[in-house]
Amino acid sequence: MEIHIIQGDITQIECDAIVNAANNSLLGGGGVDGAIHRQAGKELLEECRTLHGCATGDAKVTKGYRLSARYVIHTVGPVYRDGQHDEAKLLKSCYKKCLEKAEAYQCHHIAFPSISTGAYRYPTSQAAQIAMETIEQFEAHYVQRVDIVCFDDYTYRTYCQLLKKNNKSAYD
């Protein structure tokens, strides 16, 4: 599986599925969640209402509607408190559950944001380490490419340094 680090807008990535760093209600919010809902259109919100929310660390799938991605995989990352409240376990679960959903929907290409590092305050370097380890250890059958789409420069540089340190070189 190839891993690519990209700086940009996840709503503009052409792939089979994009991951939405959602809140528990799945009814939209700020950051990545708000951008995905705005781009996808009101049909996404209507479908999300039928899902009755999502637990932290879990994932649920909807259609992509007006996005270029066929699917949106919604996951709820942990709010970082102090690292002593299962935050790492829950964040790892987010990535794993999303990859499992991508496999179930036979997706070859999936794009992730940096889950929990914005409003949920997870330290970027720790979150990046968990993301990369979880993705690299996942046994994929369908998923061939994973993009990690970073909104800002700091997050992009953090993921690129980690990828380079792990002797990988696929960053755009």
What are the DSSP E strand ranges found in the chain?
A: 2-7, 17-21, 59-63, 71-75, 109-112, 145-150
Q: What percent of the chain has pLDDT over 90?
A: 90
In contact, 92 and 128? CB cutoff 8 Å: no
Q: Is 2-165 a domain of CATH 3.40.220.10?
A: yes
Of 33, 86, 152, 153, which residue is the catalytic one? 33
Asked if 33 is an active-site residue, the reply is yes
- Could you give the C-alpha distances from 70 to 13, 19, 24, 67, 102, in angstroms and in order? 11, 11, 22, 7, 11
pLDDT in tens, 75-119: 999 999 999 999 999 999 999 999 999 999 999 999 999 999 999
pLDDT in tens, 120-145: 999 999 999 999 999 999 999 999 99
In this prediction, residue 164 has a pLDDT band, given cuts at 50, 70 and 90, of confident
CA distance 31 to 34: 5
Q: What is the mean pLDDT of residues 50-54?
A: 97
